[in-house]
Amino acid sequence: MASEGKVAVVTGSSKGIGLATVRLLKEKGFVTIGVSRSGGGEAHEELRADVSSKEEVRRVVDYVVSKYGRIDVLVNNAGFGVYGYFWETPLDEEEYEVRTLLLGVIYFTKSVLPLMLRRNYGAIVNVVSEAAYVSMPTLLVYSSAKAAVAHFTNGLWASLKGTNVKVSGVYPGPVKTDFTSHPSFKNTEPKFNILAVPPERVAKAVWKAIRTGKREIYVPSKLLIEPYFLKLALSLQSLTYFVQRSIYGKKVIF
């Protein structure tokens, strides 16, 4: 996709992967619109909105289309995780987590996709997670929501075959961001494991997704092996947990 002057909307733009993505897309010549609850960040225009609210998402999309006339790229990235064993974590916060991670993606895609299809042009990139395929015991609702986003992305990818509107999922492993700033991580001493990458690596993968429309992109790419391995040998999941726990211990979150 040639990018000069094209309009890209990035959710969760105030920090982390979203901020790195905005910076990269600006370098590539995009007009960038960021979305987050705080409204911070470095996009050409930063909008304050909560992606878990379909009214707020609708308002953002209407505003962008009326001002810029088009949306060429949508990066669904906003998200957070509630940490802890399922029987200890607060349900209200988990409901909000699901609304943000899953419904936020659905609301934005529902609003933007018809516009792209009308022009037969555009790219949607969903920032998913390796947790979509390897369910994390202490991020269980998070993993479940990401698995649903992966299903949503793959099915949409298939249904848009033959059009010039592309949908991709980017699947990071651990990334060095503020992800652990959610209050549920307090007192957990979380450590990132040795695979953790800087958010700029994920931004590059998002850019690759925009250019290629590839269905799944893993960051780092060696993670590619893990989901397919697990799909082929689900019976080994218990063994995987055992090995993870033996190597990294209970305190490691990814």
Ligand X SMILES: NC(=O)c1ccc[n+]([C@@H]2O[C@H](COP(=O)([O-])OP(=O)(O)OC[C@H]3O[C@@H](n4cnc5c(N)ncnc54)[C@H](OP(=O)(O)O)[C@@H]3O)[C@@H](O)[C@H]2O)c1
Task: Verify binding: residue 21, ligand X, rule CB under 6 A.
Answer: no
The sheet carrying 122-127 orders its strands as 45-48, 31-36, 7-11, 73-76, 122-127, 165-172, 216-219
Stretch that binds ligand X, among 15-23, 64-72, 86-94, 160-168 (CB under 6 A): 15-23
Among 1, 44, 45, 50, indicate the residue that binds ligand X (CB under 6 A): 50
By residue count, the chain amounts to 254
Q: How far is the CB of 180 from ligand X (least distance, A)?
A: 8
Q: What is the DSSP letter of 195?
A: T
Backbone φ/ψ region at 39: left (φ over 0), alpha (ψ -120 to 50), beta: left
b/e string for 95-114 if b means 16 or more Cβ within 10 A? Answer: eebbbbbbbbbbbbbebbbe
| Count of Cβ atoms closer than 10 Å to residue 24 Cβ | 20
178 binds ligand X (CB under 6 A): yes
Among 3, 7, 9, 18, binds ligand X (CB under 6 A): 18
The residue type at 45: E
Number of residues that bind ligand X (CB under 6 A): 29
Q: How far is the CB of 136 from ligand X (least distance, A)?
A: 10
For helices 54-68 and 104-119, give the axis angle rounded to 10 degrees: 30
Question: How would you classify residue 120: left for phi > 0, otherwise alpha for psi between -120 and 50, otherwise beta?
Answer: left
Residues 191-230 that bind ligand X (CB under 6 A): 199
Considering only 5-13, 64-72, 83-91, 236-244, which stretch makes contact with ligand X by CB under 6 A? Answer: 5-13
Q: Which of 134, 177, 184, 216 binds ligand X (CB under 6 A)?
A: 177
* Footprint (CB under 6 A) of ligand X, residues 78-137: 78-80, 100, 127, 129
Is position 12 an interface residue for ligand X (rule: CB under 6 A)? yes
Q: Using CB under 6 A, which of 1, 26, 37, 200 touches ligand X?
A: 37
Q: Which residues bind ligand X (CB under 6 A)?
A: 11-18, 36-38, 50-52, 77-80, 100, 127, 129, 172, 174-175, 177-179, 181, 199
